[in-house]
Amino acid sequence: MNIKYISALLSVAALFAACDNDENMGADIMPSTDRPGIVVTDTIEIKAYTVTEDSVYSSYQSHLLVGSFNDPVFGKTDAAFCAKFSNTSYGEFLNNAICDSVILTLGLDSTAVHFYGDLKAKSSINIYPLTEVLYADSNYYSNFNYKSIIADSPIATTEFVPENAGKNLTFNISKEYGEKVIKCTQDTTFDANLFGLCFCQGSESSTIIKTTHQNNNIQYTVYYHCEGDTTRRNVTFSIANSNARASFFTHDYTGTNIPSDSESDTLLYLQSMSGTRIKLDLSDVKKLNIYNTSEQKRYFSLMGAQLIMPVDSVASDYPNYTPINEITCFGIDKASGKLVYFEEFFARDSYGNSNINTVKFDKSRMCYTVNLTIRINELLKKYKADVEPYYDICIFPNARTSDFARTVINAPSKKSSPLKLVVQYTVFDK
């Protein structure tokens, strides 16, 4: 360990302020004591790995992604989503209704932040009817084979150029589907016979778009007239908050430098769309316990531990590709592969709502700074008891299945601005 002795706490505070964490996660767990001690700043040797995701829970996302893009760094990603539609409070069909047309609108924001890929190239999106029910009480994961529950042929296709797309994409759905909607609605078999729709990339796709189901942003309207009456009427269907919906992704990292669970040379890769995460090996912190052995006449108290993650702006191609806005830290159970929630990053309020503490990308300093004080303290307790942690500590994009951002991080082995763990503690006599 490279130990540097600092004469005053202000010097240490200044060092940590160089790349601060505005969320102030973690805690100052130094016990109160009147005994004078030596304040130590130490850079701990760590290892880090890029790990490709397998399956991520993807049901009931507010933001939905669809399309395909071949990223120059992260390879090809396909995105699709399926959703149930309902017509609650949107009117009803009169008797003898005959379908004239069905128009679906998929709302977009015209700014580039809601497009990922080539904004000038033509892309297309297909809509398929689902052939199986999308269960509201089922858990769907990002690697689910959605193609197994869609019809053989699409009922609508639209082509667009992102920079010219405006606020909506419009689809002309087949009249045959509209006739089925009318029939199933009138004989009250809508939910039993119309399972929903799937949105996926078409034959041409150079962009992934982000939309939301909220505020009726995705809806289709069935225009009709009644037999013997030329008056044009309509009924609208949309995705309600309670309707089942799920997102799905496939990645092809062939030809990229993205490894699978192997230590990186100089770069680490963090990708949303259930793409990649970063696994940390912090076992070297056990060296700090040398002060707490019976042979030592000194004791130490951990004051802080910050993981500094500099973004490689060249490899990330910043600002052409916006870095991930927020990241967070969880564990992965080594035996089951399930998420392990750390109290300092995950909590539930009195109403049972979950809250995830996140770290925002610091654009001015081009880095993320994660406060790992509580986590390092827990590791030290385990190592002192000669117990290995049952989980791996990992850094994730916060929006793992509802955003398309990605970031390239400098690895610990990179000579310039590497990822590092900086700890500060007080050493004092027993």
Q: What is this structure's pTM? A: 0.86
The answer to whether 331 and 340 are in contact (CB under 8 A) is yes
Angle at 365 between CA 363 and CA 366, to 5 degrees: 60
Strand 168-173 and strand 326-333: the pairing is unpaired
Dist CA 159 CA 161 (whole Å): 7
Q: Give residues with Cβ within 8 angstroms of 199, minimum separation 6.
A: 64, 66, 80, 81, 82, 83, 106, 125, 126, 127
Q: What pLDDT is attached to residue 104?
A: 97
The beta strand positions in 206-362, using DSSP E, are: 207-212, 218-226, 233-238, 245-252, 262-263, 267-271, 276-281, 298-310, 326-333, 339-340, 346-348, 354-356, 359-360
Domains of the chain, residue spans: 16-54+256-429, 63-243
Q: What is the pLDDT of residue 40?
A: 83
Q: What backbone phi and psi angles, to 5 degrees, belong to 330?
A: -135, 170
Whether 104 and 177 have beta carbons less than 8 Å apart is answered as no
pLDDT in tens, 101-152: 999 999 987 666 789 999 999 999 999 999 999 988 889 999 999 999 999 9
Per DSSP, helices labelled H in 88-227 are: 175-186, 190-193
**Tell me, what's the pLDDT at 111?**
64
Q: Can you tell me whether residue 204 is helix, strand or coil? A: coil
Q: Quick one: tokens of 259? A: 């490894």
Residue 219 corresponds to which amino acid? Q
| Structure confidence at residue 89 (pLDDT) | 61
Residues contacting 164, CB < 8 A, separation 6+:
none
Provide the CA 83 distance to its chain's centre, in angstroms.
19
Quote the pLDDT of residue 300: 80
* CA pair distance 140, 302, nearest whole angstrom: 41
Low-confidence ranges of the chain (pLDDT < 50): 1-35
Residue located via tokens 């007080």: 426
327, 398 in Cβ contact below 8 A?
A: yes
Nearest partner of 185 among 142, 210, 222, 135, judged by Cα: 222
